[in-house]
Structure 1
Amino acid sequence: MIYHLLLHHKSNYLICTTTTSSTTTTSKSRISTQQIVIPNIPANARWQQSGVTISGGHGSGNATNQLNYPIGIFIDDDQTVIIADQNNHRIIQWKKDDTNGQVIAGGNRQGNQPSQLHSPTDVLIDKQTNSLIICDSGNKRVMLWSRSSGTSYGEILVDKITCFGLCMDDQRYLYISDTAKDEVRRYQMGDKTGTLIAGGTLLGTGSNPLQNPSYIFVDEQYAIYVSDDNHHVMKWNKNATKGSVIAGGNGSGNALTQLSHGEGLFVDKLGTLYVVDYG
């Protein structure tokens, strides 16, 4: 069985690494609405140490074969890679084996008009409406942008929020990290206020509160995993009033007990946490 791990890279390209296992009975498990993909990676999996560039790789720029600080990634069912291309103020997609991407939101210079984005940091697909949900960080808003052909603008879902990361569960609840308030909120579609579920007044254990929370992952039990600038990853179980540190939390460093700057993350079916440790 072969598995793929996709990493966003601060050198303006994306790389894909693979792992193999002798186990042949494992399969990828998807929650019913396919908002969350939780891979079933066996404990004896072995990862290749080199990857293949699948997007960008032609230096920093705004051409359709270039990226400029790719920071958020979403993979569609057909392996189309959708990227929040932050410094180009656009969302761009790469279909499998394409040499050029296609701009599908923004790309009209930095701005706050409905057709513009300002430093987007994350993106996902709402399957029910076939729309992008975009964390338009520089404009402090979350946008809903139809994937229908010819769509040139989006609409505001949530505004006045210093958003960074997004996630959606199988009940179509949207989770958004707010770096200014050091919290994560859960929203029903159409809700402008949300419910506090992590950080903020829900302090972490000990002396490890959330600090500039960034990426989010929600598992099948609706536990929330959050990476932040406090050199750790925290977990909040469903309806918990306190979170706990599950990775890092021992200061910044490169020891196996430390994180320098945890970013993208996910948890597999065995409960193994995978974290991109930047820096």
Structure 2
Amino acid sequence: LGSNTGTTVAGSSGSAGSSRAQLRYPSGIFVSPNQDMYILDTNNYRILKWQLGEPIGYVVAGGNGNGGAFKQIGQSFGMFVDQNYDIYISERGNHRVSKWFNGNTTAGVLVAGGNGAGNTDDKLNLPWGIYVEVNGTMFIVDRGNHRVQKWEAGASLGATVAGSTSDPGPWSYQLYDPTAITFDPYGYMYILDETNNRVQKWYPGASYGITVASGSMNLPVGMTFDRLGNLVVADSSYHRMISFNIMCPPTTTTTTAPPMLITTPLCSTASWNQTMSIIAGSTSSAGSTSTLLYYPFHIDYDGYANLYVVDHQNHRIQRFQPGSQTGTTVAGSTGSLGSSRSE
């Protein structure tokens, strides 16, 4: 399908920092249809909007240091960009979710939690991944409480829809340090259950999950579906990206007008082949070359099926063309910390 190497197209090689050309331990990414990247720059406490091919990004949320004021964001590992390009940030350090409206880079507003760490319905404890429906209802991975909270727009309380509060474990009704969440077109919820090294599928209203991918993983952090419905996981501690192929009738796509349009991403009775394939990185081989990764955290695809990987420990974003295991650095700088506008 393609090559296994990449090229630097944005940022600078060999350093990382807090400039707008650098990143410092990035952990999340969203790629828009026109290939604009929204990057959660975790240890710079900001989100950068970075146009593909540009040498620097622009701060669209945070950037005022670590703190609890609403012009700031705390240490964060989860982000969701909605259809209006409003940004929801799951602030682990502040035990809250804040929303930054498109065009307002001054301050966010509180939309969930914010009452300190705890396990009651008005609180979150080290929240991580987040998914937001079109109506503003949030599904928050409440990692420290080993559960997922459903939080409607404007509500002061959440409700547990997966996991057992403060009760981690391997049983089907439990989660253990979950990190990521997504949904398929049929309303089924998928949770990346990190310490259990599995992906759990929860039907609406269910009291337990069904394992759809497990084994062959070592503390995975991020996941998504590709355009065909294959389940792609950032297998962080093995420093690789892996794919579990979907098993259902093939989907139909068209490329008559970019970006690629998807007619049916998944079938309602989908299952996934438990024999995974490595699509980027190399098992247990951390590194900063174009074919290696170092604790990849999160992933997204653009409309042309290019894979974007948040290469956390290398302080960069790597882009892989379809079929290629060679990445191109499209944001950040390989292997060093930074805090300038280009880091």
TM-score, length basis structure 2: 0.68
Q: Over residues 71-114 of structure 1, what are the superposed CA-to-partner deviations in whole Å (9 max), with x where a residue is unaligned?
A: 11111111100011111000000001211100100000011110
The within-5 A match list for 1:25-174 is 47-98=53-104, 99-127=106-134, 130-147=136-153, 149=154, 151-159=155-163, 160-162=174-176, 163-174=178-189
Q: Is the 8 A contact 2:226 2:305 kept in 1?
A: no
Aligned residue in 1 for 2:241: 233
Q: Say how many residue pairs are matched.
A: 241
**CA distance in structure 2 between the aligned counterparts of 1:2 and 1:274, rounded to whole angstroms:** 14
Q: Deviations over 1:209-244 (max 9, x none)?
A: 211111110134221111022100110111312111
Choose the corresponding residue for 2:214, options 199, 214, 220. Answer: 199
Deviations 1:47-68 (A, max 9, x none): 2121001111111000001011
| Structure 1 residue 267 displacement after superposition | 2.1
| TM-score relative to the length of structure 1 | 0.83
Residue 314 of structure 2 is aligned to residue 255 of structure 1: no
Give the letter aligned to residue 171 of structure 1. Y
Which stretch shows the higher mean deviation, 100-109 or 68-77? 68-77
Query: In the alignment, what sits opposite 2:302?
Result: 268
CA separation in 2, counterparts of 1:116 and 1:76? Answer: 23
Inter-partner Cα distance in structure 2 for 1:48 and 1:140: 39
Partner of 2:194: 179
Check the 8 A contact 2:242/2:277 in 1, yes or no: yes
Identity of aligned residues (%): 26
Instruction: After superposition, give the CA deviation of every residue in 1:136-172 in whole Å (9 maximum; x if it has no partner).
Output: 000000000001x3x1110000113121111111111
Instruction: Name the aligned partner's letter for residue 258 of structure 1.
Output: L
**Cα 1:216–1:18, aligned 2, differ >3 Å: closer, same or farther?**
same
- Specify the alignment match of 1:12 in structure 2: 45
Which residue does 2:264 correspond to in 1?
Answer: none
Match among 277, 280, 284 for residue 244 of structure 1? 277
Describe the SS at the equivalent of 2:279. strand
Deviates more, 1:54-63 or 1:234-243: 234-243
Question: By how many angstroms is 1:189 displaced?
Answer: 1.5
Greater percentage in strand? 1
Runs of at least 5 residues in structure 1 that lack an aligned partner in the other structure: 20-46, 201-208
Shift of 1:126: 2.7
Q: What CA distance in whole angstroms lies between the structure 2 residues aligned with 1:232 and 1:107?
A: 34
Q: Cα RMSD over matched residues?
A: 1.5
Q: CA deviation at 1:194?
A: 1.9
1:115 Cα deviation from its structure 2 partner:
0.2
Match of residue 3, structure 1, among 29, 35, 38: 35
**How far apart, CA to CA, are the structure 2 residues paired with 1:191 and 1:225?**
24
